[in-house]
Amino acid sequence: MKNDIKIFSPATVANVACGFDVLGFCLDTIGDEMVIRKTDKKGIYITKIEGFDLPFETTLNVAGVSALAMYEALKPDCGFEIEIYKNIKPGSGIGSSAASAVGSVFGMNELLGRPYNKTELTQFAIKGEALASKCEHADNLAPAIFGGFTLVKSVSPLEILEIPSPKDLYATIIHPQIEIKTSEARAILPKEVPLQNAIKQWANFGSLIHGLHTSDYGLIQRSLHDVIVEPHRSKLIPHYEDVKKAVLQHGALGAGISGSGPAIFTLSKGLENAQNVKDAMESVYSKTGIVFEIHMTRINTEGIKVLEDRRLKTDNRKPTHTH
Amino acid sequence: MKNDIKIFSPATVANVACGFDVLGFCLDTIGDEMVIRKTDKKGIYITKIEGFDLPFETTLNVAGVSALAMYEALKPDCGFEIEIYKNIKPGSGIGSSAASAVGSVFGMNELLGRPYNKTELTQFAIKGEALASKCEHADNLAPAIFGGFTLVKSVSPLEILEIPSPKDLYATIIHPQIEIKTSEARAILPKEVPLQNAIKQWANFGSLIHGLHTSDYGLIQRSLHDVIVEPHRSKLIPHYEDVKKAVLQHGALGAGISGSGPAIFTLSKGLENAQNVKDAMESVYSKTGIVFEIHMTRINTEGIKVLEDRRLKTDNRKPTHTH
């Protein structure tokens, strides 16, 4: 008996400039696909992984760990199989582990008739994300689950705010195929920062939230600055300053490090600007000899979603929920 | 010939919790009155000061200095007399000098047919404010001129954002009649702050801006925290913790130091809560032997305004602008 759904779990950008550690947004054209299958046999099993070499052992796999957290909380009278079709390269800086972590719990929740709300799902996904990043945070999970822009006000207690997303906002993201060790990206952060810089950062962050609410692209542009973290972490990304300079010259509203890198995100008003920014990125990076990928996408305001609900075919009844 | 207007220049709260140095709001029931008179005789003259003992010498008076900045920029073919009826005690922490600084330039601008916009008026007022506070800042000036909540995104270039003000928001402010030296309030600030605290501060500040946009009083309450400055400056205000504890117990959404103190501001939802907060403040402070004043007011969304336009009576024509 087939009793499964296929889902799309999107890539995300966290650490959005002045919103370091709290603001993220959701991407549209890049993400993983996963199949979550309800089984009579109890337990959580990862039955297929394609795309990248990741562990099948449930307790060692991000999607498995988040699934277990939910499974142990709910104790349902069934089990689940998880198939992972991974498109987001681990370590890219666009929420690869977050996509895995939210995919399993979102899918299970759908199959079980949605016992949990989005914040509760995020709470379970945090456990999976922690396996990958060694700390509990939700800045990629929240945009993957809620879509659009999200502000993680606090992790404990978990509080996630949905910030409006102006409709003409596009993201262009370059992912240089190099590895940045998370430990190195963390170690490079200062423990203390000048008060004057911190004030600048929250002035910009408050202004960015206001700009997103009012669809004021000029203000978004003037607010997308990070005076605290970027000066340190950008050193870990080759040609960061060249890319940033080029994209700003070609109409980007702003640019910053996506997550802890190496990906660099930009935001633009309109598709044409986003395309120009893509060309500018290509022009800089094609000269470097470093392999890279570029993603260009509107902001995904929907978040994670069901692609195919195969319960229909076997159960001969309508699902109680469609996404 | 009478050719003058009488204006109301409101008191303001700056350094609103997590919005330290950038967020302020405007009060309704407390402010100065000023008369600004256009004269044939050139120059800026302060002709009357009531309420507090302040210098008549134009270059030594906050209202005079801001007036001179505008006068020298515009070089009008007339002069101005300024009468100041001061109600806001200097050094209270609710924008006494800001009220003086904006009053003169606002009044002159009205009499001259509004050659300047609100941001330009703030720019002139900064010069007056600098006389009192020894540095150029606009966190009290902006709410006095624009009304409501304002975010001073940057001082140079000057950019002021008008943040929506939920209609049921009330402020209750206690002003203990003690003096805090500005120099002391500044010296007590750390030069560097822990990155983790700075992140908390901008998470709260972004959330507060979101809460003001969405009239989410619960979120406003959960966001009105200052983990950076309050722990230091609150030591300068007697019984600060007692007042804060009491007002929060009696329904205040939050409390903080107004400006650099000694005034303590609170925000409440609705008049009844604001009244309970007032009672709680009184109850704490009446036991201390320290003389105090309490102001209870809705948020003033209009800002500085003309009370009386006496040009009508003498010119026998309608003013080209009314506020």
Answer yes or no: do A204 and B153 touch at CB < 8 A: yes
Architecture of domain B169-298: 2-Layer Sandwich (3.30)
Give the residue on B whose Cα is nearest the Cα of A212: B210
> Residue A206: its chain B contacts at CB < 8 A?
19, 22-23, 151, 153, 202, 205-206, 208-209
The two structure tokens encoding residue A60: 């060692």
- What 3-state class would DSSP assign to A76? coil
- Closest chain A CA to residue B190: A195
Q: What mean pLDDT do residues A191-218 have?
A: 98
Interface of B with A (CB under 8 A): 18-23, 151-154, 159, 161, 163, 189-195, 198-199, 201-210, 213, 219, 222-223, 228
B193 with A190: Cβ contact below 8 A:
no
Does the structure show a pLDDT above 60 at B314? no
| Average pLDDT rounded to a whole number, residues B236-258 | 97
Per-residue pLDDT of A131-185, as tens digits, reads 988 787 899 999 999 999 999 999 999 999 999 999 999 999 999 999 888 778 8
Residues of chain A with CATH 3.30.70.890: 169-298
pLDDT of residue B313: 55
In chain A, CATH 3.30.230.10 sits at 4-164+301-313
pLDDT, greater one: A320 or B4: B4
Residue A188 has pLDDT above 90, yes or no: yes
pLDDT tens profile A223-240:
999 999 999 999 999 999
Interval B119-145 mean pLDDT: 92
Average pLDDT over residues B232-258: 96
Which ipTM score applies to this complex? Answer: 0.94
B192, A189: Cβ pair inside 8 Å? no
Higher pLDDT, A186 or A153: A153
- Whether B91 has a pLDDT exceeding 50, the answer reads yes
Per-residue pLDDT at B114 exceeds 60: yes
Torsions phi, psi for A256 (to 5 deg): -170, 180
- What is the pLDDT, as a whole number, of residue B316? 45
Active-site annotation holds for A192: no
Closest to A19 (Cβ–Cβ): which among B206, B208, B223? Answer: B206
pLDDT digits (tens, 9 = 90+) for A35-46: 999 999 999 999
pLDDT value at B132 more than 80: yes
Instruction: For residue B106, give every residue at least 6 positions away whose Cβ sits within 8 Å of its Cβ, in sequence order, or none.
Output: B7, B9, B121, B145, B304
What tens digit of pLDDT does each residue of B8-46 get?
A: 999 999 999 999 999 999 999 999 999 999 999 999 999
Contact A201 B203 (CB under 8 A): no
Using DSSP, state whether B47 is helix, strand or coil.
Answer: strand
Contact (CB<8Å) A198/B201: yes
* Nearest residue in B to A210, CA atom: B209
- The candidate with the shortest Cα–Cα distance to A138, out of A84, A107, A92, A95, is A95
The whole-angstrom separation of Cα A68 and Cα A75 is 10
Q: In angstroms, what separates the C-alpha of A320 from chain B's closest C-alpha?
A: 32
| Coarse DSSP helix, strand, coil percentages of chain A, rounded to the nearest 5 percent | 40, 30, 35
Give the pLDDT confidence score for residue A313 in this predicted structure: 55
Burial of A32 (0-12, 13-18, 19+ CB in 10 A): buried
| Catalytic residue selected from A182, A282, A293, A301 | A182
C-alpha separations of A271 from A4, A254, A277 in Å: 36, 15, 10
Question: Number of residue pairs across A and B with CB atoms under 8 Å?
Answer: 114
Question: B317 falls in which pLDDT band (50, 70, 90)?
Answer: very low
Mean pLDDT over the full length of chain B: 94
Which ranges of A147-229 does DSSP label H, i.e. alpha helix? 182-187, 195-214, 217-223
Residue A133's φ and ψ, nearest 5 degrees, are -110, 0
Mean pLDDT of A290-297: 96
Q: Find the CB nearest A203 among B153, B210, B228.
A: B153
Q: Which chain A residue shows the shortest CA-CA distance from B189?
A: A195
Band (pLDDT 50/70/90 cuts) for residue A323 is very low
- What are the start and end residues of each CATH 3.30.230.10 domain in chain B? 4-164+301-315
Q: Which CATH architecture has domain A4-164+301-313?
A: 2-Layer Sandwich (3.30)
Question: Residue B234 carries which side chain, given as an amino acid letter?
Answer: S
pLDDT at B282 over 70: yes
Average pLDDT over residues B207-227: 98
Number of neighbours of residue A322 by Cβ within 10 angstroms = 10
A55-59, A134-138, B119-123: the lowest-pLDDT one: A134-138
- How many Å lie between the alpha carbon of B259 and the closest alpha carbon of chain A? 15
CB contact under 8 Å between B195 and A190, yes or no, is yes
pTM for the model: 0.94
Q: What is the mean pLDDT of the segment spanning A1-26?
A: 94
For tokens 């006389």, the residue is: B131
Determine the Cα–Cα distance for residues B290 and A259; give it in Å rounded to an integer. 52
Q: Which residues of A fall below an 8 Å CB-CB distance to B?
A: 18-23, 151-154, 159, 161, 163, 189-195, 198-199, 201-210, 213, 219, 222-223, 228
pLDDT at B320 over 70: no
Q: Residue B183 pLDDT > 90, yes or no?
A: no
Q: What is the pLDDT of residues A82-115, one digit of tens each?
A: 999 999 999 899 999 999 999 999 999 999 999 9
Find the range with the poorest average confidence among A113-127, B61-75, B181-195, B217-231: B181-195
Quickly state the pLDDT bin for A322 (edges 50, 70, 90).
very low
User: What is the average pLDDT value for chain A, to the nearest integer?
Assistant: 94
B15: left (phi over 0), alpha (psi -120 to 50) or beta: left
Write out the catalytic residue numbers of B. 129, 182
Taking an 8 Å cut-off on Cβ atoms, the answer to whether A202 and B207 are in contact is no
What pLDDT does A189 receive? Answer: 94
Domain B4-164+301-315 part of CATH 3.30.413.10: no
pLDDT at A316: 45
Q: Which of B19, B193, B210 sits opposite A151 (nearest CB)?
A: B210
pLDDT classification of B184: cutoffs 50, 70, 90: confident
Contact B228 A20 (CB under 8 A): no
Contact (CB<8Å) A153/B223: yes
